[in-house]
Amino acid sequence: MIFGDAVAILIRAILAWALIIAAESVHGALRRILLDPDTAFALRQVSVGVAVLIVFAVTWVSDRWMAVRGTGALLGVGLLWVILTLAFEFGLGRALGMSVQQIAEGYDLSKGNIMPLGLLATALAPWIVARLKFKSAI
């Protein structure tokens, strides 16, 4: 039954990530539609902060439902979310005609891009939320 539980947790973690990506996609679309493109770089910086809030909000609401416990498992879910996010970002970017180099520039800290910090927050979100909600359960 342990294998079945692990599969159920994995599916729930992927569904929670799908909700995160859907919310972030809506957020990104609204940003592009409603805000001035001349402030694109500054908006991307603020957008990473909003994306982190989205990740933490979805994680907070879905934590009990995902039923992930244990530091290793929580960090594993966070790592899974980072991998899925990168696959999504690079896949969508390529589908939209961007080169891998163009996409990767969005992750270059030396150019002031803070996406890697957002990915770090995503990786740690399940563990941080569990620490905040269930101090003795992790």
Q: For the chain, which ranges sit under pLDDT 50?
A: 1
User: Dihedrals φ, ψ of 45, to 5°?
Assistant: -65, -50
CA distance 69 to 75: 10
Express each pLDDT in 107-129 by its tens digit: 999 988 899 999 999 999 999 99
* Contacts for 26-34: CB closer than 8 Å, 24+ residues apart: 27/51, 27/54
pLDDT of residue 138: 58
pLDDT of residue 35: 74
Instruction: Work out the widest C-alpha separation in the chain, in whole angstroms.
Output: 55
Q: Model's pTM, two decimal places? A: 0.89
Q: Is the dihedral of CA 120, 69, 61, 29 positive or negative?
A: positive
Domain ranges of the chain: 2-133
CA distance 101 to 55: 26
CA distance 101 to 45: 19
